[in-house]
Amino acid sequence: MGYLVKEIFYTLQGEGSHAGRPAVFCRMSRCNLWTGYEKDRHRAICTFCDTDFVGTDGVGGGRFATADELADAVARAWPSEERAHRFVVCTGGEPLLQLDEEAVEALHKQGFEVAVETNGTRVPPEGIDWLCVSPKIGSKLVVDQGDELKLVYPQPGGSPESFEHLDFSVFRLQPMDGPELEANTRETVEYCLKNPHWRLSLQTHKYLGIQ
Ligand SMILES: C[S@@+](CC[C@H](N)C(=O)[O-])C[C@H]1O[C@@H](n2cnc3c(N)ncnc32)[C@H](O)[C@@H]1O
Ligand SMILES: Nc1nc2[nH]cc(C(=O)O)c2c(=O)[nH]1
Ligand code: SF4
Ligand SMILES: [Mg+2]
């Protein structure tokens, strides 16, 4: 079987609590809430995705037969032999369709702290160091605890309030990118000011023009 990966790249984490931190991004292929094809977007459960996660044709992408091969590829993307600051963000697509305990262990063996960005519809494997859940209205959330809950805002049919009881260390709203980004950003700032349970998350990589 192995792991299907769209791309592996080194950049700064752009979003959330670790924004600004150097990280290898391991973008796994496939998602359970959208096929990834534009022709299907209108009937997807998640309709606002900003990411191409189809196939394995990106830089550093491919099919990795074993967890160790996957972790080796991630380690090759880190800029030095030094292990002190190694940080990998497993994202996608939906990484929890593929990321298992073996892969997390193999990444740890390579010295990485392991962060995951997930839509919260799949139970995560043991060992993840930073779990960021980004719920999608219209999908069934099965993850009710983690480090960071990062809700894209606004999402029709869903209010941030309905997530406040969940067991996360920090709650963030991230303005929905797309044609309404400016208005969405203003609304998000206003919501956080009125409801201090929530903090702003910006997609800073997009402002910086980095990947
Ligand atoms: C592309 S997703 C991949 C990980 C996982 N499938 C998920 O949805 O969390 C990575 C992050 O980007 C966010 N995101 C996707 N499309 C967005 C958009 N149009 N505007 C703002 N954030 C977006 C997601 O909510 C998630 O936090
Ligand atoms: N720089 C950067 N930061 C990110 N944080 C989450 C991302 C994602 O696509 O999951 C992402 C991304 O694609 N690029
Ligand atoms: S769940 Fe994540 S990867 Fe899947 S379509 Fe939505 S934002 Fe994109
Ligand atoms: Mg992204």
- pLDDT level of residue 1 (50, 70, 90 thresholds): confident
* Locus of tokens 């394995």: 56
129 is in an annotated binding site: no
**pTM for this prediction:** 0.99
Point out the ligand 1 atom lying closest to the alpha carbon of residue 31.
6
Q: Which residues line ligand 1 (CB under 6 A)?
A: 31, 48-51, 91-92, 94, 117-119, 134, 150, 152, 174, 176-178, 203
209 burial (CB, 10 Å; 0-12 / 13-18 / 19+) is exposed
192 is in an annotated binding site: no
Q: Round to whole Å and give the CA distance between 5 and 25.
A: 11
| CATH number belonging to the domain at 3-208, selected among 3.90.550.10, 3.40.30.10, 3.90.226.10, 3.20.20.70 | 3.20.20.70
Helices 67-77 & 101-109 angle (0-180, nearest 10): 40
123-162 pLDDT per residue, tens = 999 999 999 999 999 999 999 999 999 999 999 999 999 9
- The separation between CA 116 and the C-alpha centre of its own chain, rounded to angstroms, equals 6
User: Domain boundaries in the chain?
Assistant: 3-208
ipTM higher than threshold 0.90: yes
Residues 29, 90 contacting (CB under 8 angstroms): no
- Say which of 15, 18, 25, 94 is annotated catalytic: 25
Point out the ligand 3 atom lying closest to the alpha carbon of residue 139.
1
